[in-house]
């Protein structure tokens, strides 16, 4: 097995990231990600999209969004062939370290209620569901 490395994504990674999310991420009940949206993320915050690679192979991702007030985690995904090897923990540890460097004090993760495997993973990483909160969304259109 190759050494696992974590690094920020670059604009040249976008096609591979989008293809990876199609096979490794939960895509139900959400608009499709596209090249321009990921490019905006990378342009605005070049260190937010973290990629885990085993050699040259992309095996995981997480978006560690920091808005100056809160720390938000999105798109934690691990290749199906590489699950249960601790890759999520490595990615979340890297994201949390980034948040601490930026002055963050609390992180939250977006998890679909019916994604039981994700809920178990976040719980194992030390996160707890906040039953008193609901997410409210409004598509902005384009």
pLDDT, position 142: 60
139 assigned to some structural domain = no
pLDDT, position 2: 77
85 assigned to some structural domain = yes
- Does residue 91 contact residue 77 with C-beta atoms inside 8 Å? no
- Strand, helix or coil for residue 103: coil
pLDDT, position 139: 74
**What range defines the domain where residue 23 resides?**
4-124
pLDDT, position 38: 97
- Does residue 74 contact residue 55 with C-beta atoms inside 8 Å? no
Tell me the CATH number at 98. 3.40.630.30
Q: Number of structural domains, the chain? A: 1
Kindly give the confidence (pLDDT) of every residue in the chain, 142 residues in length, as a single tens digit, with 9 standing for 90 and above. Answer: 579 999 999 999 999 999 999 999 876 666 678 999 999 999 999 999 999 999 999 999 999 999 999 999 999 999 999 999 999 999 999 999 999 999 999 999 988 888 888 899 999 999 999 888 877 877 787 6
Q: How is the beta sheet containing 107-109 ordered, strand by strand?
A: 4-8, 49-54, 57-66, 71-78, 107-109
53 assigned to some structural domain = yes
CA distances, 102 to each of 34, 83, 106 (Å):
27, 29, 12
108 assigned to some structural domain = yes
């Amino acid at each position: 097995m190759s050494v696992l490395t974590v690094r920020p994504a670059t604009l040249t990674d976008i096609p591979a990231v989008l293809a990876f999310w199609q096979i490794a991420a939960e895509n139900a009940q959400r608009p499709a990600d596209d090249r321009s949206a990921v490019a905006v993320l990378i342009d605005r915050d070049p260190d937010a999209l973290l990629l885990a690679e085993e050699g040259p192979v992309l095996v995981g991702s997480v978006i560690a969004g920091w808005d100056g007030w809160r720390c938000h985690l999105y798109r934690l995904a691990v290749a199906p062939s590489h699950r249960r090897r601790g890759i999520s923990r490595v990615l979340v540890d890297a994201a949390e370290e980034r948040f601490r460097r930026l002055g963050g004090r609390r992180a939250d993760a977006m998890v679909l209620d019916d994604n039981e495997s994700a809920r178990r993973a976040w719980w194992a990483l030390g996160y707890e569901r906040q039953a008193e909160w609901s997410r409210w969304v409004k598509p902005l259109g384009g």
